[in-house]
Structure 1
Amino acid sequence: MRQQDNKIIFTGPVGAGKTTAIGSISEIAPVKTDARASDMTLARKAETTVALDYGRLSLEGGVRVHLYGTPGQERFDFMWEIVSQGALGLIVLVDNTRPNPSADLQFFLTAFKALLNDAPLVIGVTKTDLSAQPSAEDYANLMEKFGLRPPILEIDPRDGDDVRQLLMALLFSIDPGLEG
């Protein structure tokens, strides 16, 4: 962890809960760039992120964690590399109600491969109350194929405690000496 400013990226498909997760833990009113959905996203939700989401947390010792959420649509992938510059870690949220959440996860791992060469990963599986499959074990097996063993947590992005656990798993991956 850096002494002052640290950047964490939240990514994943449309509707996985990125905007909600950032809003549930940010100590400031989150910056959102939502616009009315006009494509196939409209089938999942009325509004969608078109640029990025931003929130902030302060830790002990004046350390700040800046939280950036990417848009989930592939047409905004040009922004992902830009937003990722200088990031210390990546949180991928996977919506278990989507038609193929394992393929979604693989897509985002590939899209953020450059960041993952230098930064740790944590996976948050959302909407498991609506669809229990794939299971956390299924995702862990998939990660093995990528040679990765990230923490995988089932979370509700509306629950600040769930999102804090996800973020703490990432922060401990970055700096195992952190105090809770």
Structure 2
Amino acid sequence: MGAGKTTAIRAISEIAPITTEAANSDHTECNKEETTVAMDYGEITLATGEKLRLYGTPGQARFQFMWPILATGALGVVILIDNSRPDPLADLELYLDAFRALADGGAAVVGVGRMDRCPQPSLEAYAERLAALDVVVPIVPADVRRRNEVLTMLEILLQQLEATWAYDEAIGDGLSGHGLMGAHP
């Protein structure tokens, strides 16, 4: 909660984002006035002309039941972490656990926000935590208010998808470029 998912979608969406903001009733979790309670939605057009649909999940653990619903059919995931929270590495584990299939399929990026105000834990600490969990995904600092930084995370994600699809085709596993939920051998 408060990592910037809604802000990121607003920063890059070519349509007016659809949001489900409601009054925040949990100021101990995050001291902000509104929070996402169902999902956010936006779109961008890729260079190929295809539309990329963007979904932002609610961040509070009490909405955890929504995460697999919104991840169904997803090509990939950007996990945004607020580095100013009390234990952002624990937050990473919580969200990674929820989206592990996408991460294991090579379709995930971790964006760490507010590093300008809270430089610790470092990106290296995130990499070490991911390595301990046997997960290899890119980790980048991210100011989600900046369109170019959000687009960079999506470009990294799309590069992962292209590499995965090329690998799938090379080993002839029969995937038609869309099956990313399973782990590769």
TM range (shorter): 0.7 to 0.9
Q: 1:159 to 1:172 in 2, by over 3 A?
A: same
* Residue of structure 1 aligned with 2:124, choices 115, 128, 137: 137
Counterpart AA for 1:37 = N
Are 1:148 and 2:135 counterparts? Answer: yes
Q: Distance in 1 between matches of 2:106 and 2:74?
A: 8
Counterpart contact for 2:4–2:144, Cα < 8 Å = yes
* Residue of structure 1 aligned with 2:52, choices 45, 65, 68: 65
Counterpart contact for 1:87–1:119, Cα < 8 Å = no
For these two proteins, the number of residue pairs brought into alignment is: 165
Counterpart in the other structure of 2:41: 54
State the 1:43 CA deviation.
Answer: 4.4
Counterpart in the other structure of 2:112: 125
Counterpart contact for 2:76–2:107, Cα < 8 Å = yes
**Larger gyration radius, structure 1 or structure 2:** 2
Q: Distance in 2 between matches of 1:151 and 1:116?
A: 10
Higher relative contact order (CA 8 A, sep 6+): 1
Q: Distance in 1 between matches of 2:125 and 2:153?
A: 18
TM-score under structure 2 normalisation? 0.84
TM-score under structure 1 normalisation? 0.86
Counterpart AA for 1:70 = T
Give percent identity, aligned residues only. Answer: 48
Alignment gaps of 5+ in structure 1: 1-13
Alignment gaps of 5+ in structure 2: 165-185
Counterpart AA for 1:72 = G
Q: Distance in 1 between matches of 2:82 and 2:113?
A: 5
Structure 1 outlier segments of 4+, above 4 Å = none
**Larger fraction in strand:** 1
Secondary structure class of the residue paired with 1:62: coil
